[in-house]
C-alpha cells in the first residue's frame, strides 16, 4: 500500500474505499470528534464516535463520504495514540481495491502508520 505524506502529519497506509468501519487508534474512553480536511480543496467534514476499551471504531455510515484517491488530514478532539505513538494529526487516503471477485468491500479497516 502507498502512503500520502504531504500534510506534515503522520502518514498512514491507504484504506480500502468500500469499508464497513475504520478503527482510528487508541483514545481514552469517551466521545471523540474527528475533523477531516481535504488536501485537494481544504473542505472540512466531521464525525463523532465513542471510544470504548481504549479504541475508536466508527461505522462507515457515521463517517463523511470520502472521494476515491483523495487524501485527508485528520485531527481529533482528544489525545490520540497510533501504533504506540502520540499523534496530533494523521493523513489518510482511501482507494478502490480490486480483488479476484471485483472491488473489495465490507472491510474492517485499521489505521496503520507507514514504515
Q: CATH fold of 10-102, please?
A: Immunoglobulin-like (2.60.40)
User: What are the pLDDT digits (tens) for 12-71?
Assistant: 999 999 999 999 999 999 999 999 999 999 999 999 999 999 999 999 999 999 999 999
Domain ranges of the chain: 10-102
Are 12 and 114 contacting, i.e. CB atoms less than 8 angstroms apart?
yes
Question: Grid coordinates representing 82?
Answer: 497510533
The bridge status of strand 18-26 relative to strand 55-59 is antiparallel
Flag whether the pTM goes above 0.85: yes
99-104 contacts at long range (C-beta below 8 A, 24 or more positions apart): 103/17, 103/18, 104/16, 104/18
Contacts of 99 (CB under 8 A, 6+ apart): none
Q: What span, in angstroms and rounded, lies between the C-alpha atoms of 63 and 85?
A: 24
User: What are the pLDDT digits (tens) for 59-114?
Assistant: 999 999 999 999 999 999 999 999 999 999 999 999 988 888 888 899 999 999 98
At 62 the three-state DSSP class reads helix
Q: What span, in angstroms and rounded, lies between the C-alpha atoms of 24 and 45?
A: 16
Amino acid at each position: 500500500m502507498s502512503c500520502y505524506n504531504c500534510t506534515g502529519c503522520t502518514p498512514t497506509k491507504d484504506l480500502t474505499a468500500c469499508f464497513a468501519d475504520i478503527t482510528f487508534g487508541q483514545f481514552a474512553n469517551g466521545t471523540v470528534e474527528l475533523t477531516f480536511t481535504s488536501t485537494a480543496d481544504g473542505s472540512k467534514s466531521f464525525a463523532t464516535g465513542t471510544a470504548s476499551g481504549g479504541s475508536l471504531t466508527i461505522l462507515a455510515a457515521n463517517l463523511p463520504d470520502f472521494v476515491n484517491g483523495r487524501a485527508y488530514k485528520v485531527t481529533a478532539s482528544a489525545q490520540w495514540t497510533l501504533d504506540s505513538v502520540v499523534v496530533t494529526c494523521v493523513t489518510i487516503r482511501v482507494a478502490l481495491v480490486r480483488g479476484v471477485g471485483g472491488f473489495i468491500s465490507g472491510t474492517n479497516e485499521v489505521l496503520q502508520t507507514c514504515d
